[in-house]
Amino acid sequence: MERAAAPLGFATQALQAAAALLAAVVLQLGAVGGASAAQTYSLSSVAEDHLLEFVRQMEVRVDSGMEAVKAAAAQGADSPEAAEGRQIIQEVAEVVEANFSDVRAAGYDPQAWQQLKERALARPLRDRTAAYGVVRELLAVLRDPYSRFVTPTEFSAMLKYDVSGVGLNLGTAEEFANKTGMPLPEGRNVGSAAGGEGVWVVGLIKGLAADSAGLQQGDQLLELDGQQLQGQSPFQVASLMQGPEAAPEDALGLQGAAVRLKVRRFDGSKQAVTLQRPVRVLQSPVSSRLERSAGGEQVGFIRLASFNARAQRDTLAAVQRLQAAGASRLVLDLRDNRGGLVSEGIEVARLFLDDGALVVRTEGRARSSAAPITAAGAPATAAPLVVLVNDHTASASEIVAGALRDNCRAVLAGKRTYGKGLIQSVYELSDGSGLVLTVGKYVTPSGTDIDREGLSPDFRAMPAAEAADGVVRTCRLQRAPQLQAPQPAAAVAAAAAAS
């Protein structure tokens, strides 16, 4: 009977591959079909969500079929792994109860969830794989295609995507408490002065530089190479952590410089830690060119393909280079940019926004107390700006486009954007597996719900300079009271820390 597992597992993999291919086909057909821009968006985004949900439901059915065969062979006996399996089910249920946000109103009922959890914990389990199947059944009830269970092997692969370059996941005090579920040490609560010093180690990747140097979850980073980190955001500290870059052909065998840290341990003691930064090989997502418009103006085009750890820095360099070459107007091309690091998207938006301007709002259970995310300091440029978008502009790209349009800083040209505005958090479980869970959604400064709606462009094609300037002027007249209202200094500082 055990032989049935192999073909069933293969069937699951084949189903996932087929559904993914079908989703890509639907998206492409939606882009070229005869429907309107809004209809095209609705067909592609909703179809992909339905396909993802279909795959999750079929995975559950296949898992259930496999377990039924195995349980019959084992005559329903619990194995020694049963207790460990029930622990994983309990952990997943508790994380969902505390953090899941039903932002798409799919019908999540906390009381019904409790009943499902109790029934799941009472089921006989043959092994840990059976427990994983039960977890997938529970998550399928949420009807959220983006919330999913991740096996230990898959979770380990996910952790290898590292922004700091040394194996650190950094966050504010609030993010540490929200993501780990651990209370801060006494005297260092979220609102205290001590809690605001430096940034916190939310998690580490085993075997990389930070772990090898002895950094621990719950450490506060106070100094980096002698520089005080008070007032710095996790994004800024991660950028300081990143090692030097090298061309791919030159990177083999190179070793980066050491970085000296001072941290405060969970018990309040302070310790010096030295770790070795790697040489990073990271392709730039930014390209740029200078063109002369029909009206004779020099226009700088910046193509931003994705939001990796170089997005903000390379976008800033492109702006400075183009303006030095004579560009009086700028075009930011976000077409086909499906997103990436949201923190980088926020930082790119800040390059163009005035001090105190709201970048994005978050809604959801785990984000309800988050400080507003605003721009801090003078913008890098005041040049008129057009943002190019299409139906593959998604996630972090939509945050940038929404922030620039809602603050009357730019107009959007092209097609309605994709509409992916969900916020996912990743939780590590006790056996090394993981849970990716929807905890909220992003909303533009003026209140537009990005998720599933997308952003409607102001123009279907590149506008003339006079037309774009007219839309911006009208926007500023309509929003004058909001745009002129000063942000409290404390709120701006808190927002910088929240990014």
- Is the Cβ–Cβ distance between 42 and 415 less than 8 Å? no
pLDDT at site 177 = 76
- Is the Cβ–Cβ distance between 356 and 486 less than 8 Å? yes
Report the SS3 class of residue 401.
Answer: helix
Whose structure tokens read 């709606």? 453
What is the spatial distance between Cα 396 and Cα 408, in angstroms, rounded to a whole number?
A: 19
What is the spatial distance between Cα 257 and Cα 244, in angstroms, rounded to a whole number?
A: 8
Cβ neighbors of 184 (< 8 A, separation 6 or more) are 173, 176, 177, 190, 195
| Mean pLDDT along residues 415-429 | 90
User: With bands split at pLDDT 50, 70 and 90, how would you rate the model's confidence at 268?
Assistant: confident
Burial of 223 (0-12, 13-18, 19+ CB in 10 A): middle
- Is the Cβ–Cβ distance between 174 and 370 less than 8 Å? yes
Q: What is the pLDDT of residues 19-29, one digit of tens each?
A: 444 444 433 33
Whose structure tokens read 């007249």? 477
Of 117, 179, 415, 420, which one is the catalytic site residue? 420
What is the spatial distance between Cα 139 and Cα 433, in angstroms, rounded to a whole number?
A: 15
pLDDT at site 243 = 57
Q: What is the pLDDT of residues 168-226, one digit of tens each?
A: 888 888 778 777 767 777 666 555 444 445 688 888 877 788 888 899 988 999 998 88
Q: In this structure, what token pair is assigned to residue 342? A: 């949201």
User: Per-residue b/e over 446-458, b at no fewer than 16 CB within 10 Å?
Assistant: eebebbbbbbebb
For all residues of the chain together, what is the average pLDDT? 78
DSSP 8-state secondary structure symbol assigned to residue 245: B
**What CATH number labels 166-276?**
2.30.42.10
Q: What is the pLDDT of residues 360-388, one digit of tens each?
A: 998 887 555 467 889 999 999 999 999 99
User: Would you kindly state where each structural domain of the chain is located, as residue ranges?
Assistant: 2-147, 166-276, 286-498
Of 101, 147, 395, 397, which one is the catalytic site residue? 395
Neighbours of 190 (CB within 10 A): 16
| Mean pLDDT along residues 46-60 | 53
pLDDT at site 30 = 37
| Mean pLDDT along residues 77-81 | 65
Domain 286-498 in CATH 3.40.50.300? The answer is: no
The more confidently predicted of residues 258 and 486 is 258
pLDDT at site 183 = 77
Residue 289 reports pLDDT greater than 70:
yes
Active site residue 262: no
| Mean pLDDT along residues 83-91 | 93
Neighbours of 153 (CB within 10 A): 9
Q: What is the pLDDT of residues 300-337, one digit of tens each?
A: 999 999 998 889 999 999 999 999 999 999 999 999 99
Cβ neighbors of 296 (< 8 A, separation 6 or more) are none
Active site residue 395: yes
Q: In this structure, what token pair is assigned to residue 264? A: 């405060």
User: Per-residue b/e over 372-387, b at no fewer than 16 CB within 10 Å?
Assistant: bbbbbeebbbebbbbb
- Is the Cβ–Cβ distance between 384 and 472 less than 8 Å? yes
Q: In this structure, what token pair is assigned to residue 93? A: 């249920």
pLDDT at site 189 = 57
pLDDT at site 292 = 93
Whose structure tokens read 């009206």? 295
- Is the Cβ–Cβ distance between 390 and 466 less than 8 Å? no
Cβ neighbors of 32 (< 8 A, separation 6 or more) are none
pLDDT at site 25 = 43
Report the SS3 class of residue 301.
Answer: strand
Q: Are strands 385-389 and 373-374 parallel, antiparallel or unpaired?
A: unpaired
Write down the pTM of the prediction: 0.67
Q: Which of the residue ranges 67-81, 164-178, 218-232, 248-262 has the most confident prediction, judged by mean pLDDT?
A: 218-232
pLDDT at site 138 = 95
What are the DSSP E strand ranges found in 226-371? Answer: 227-228, 258-264, 270-276, 286-292, 298-304, 329-333, 358-363
pLDDT at site 79 = 66
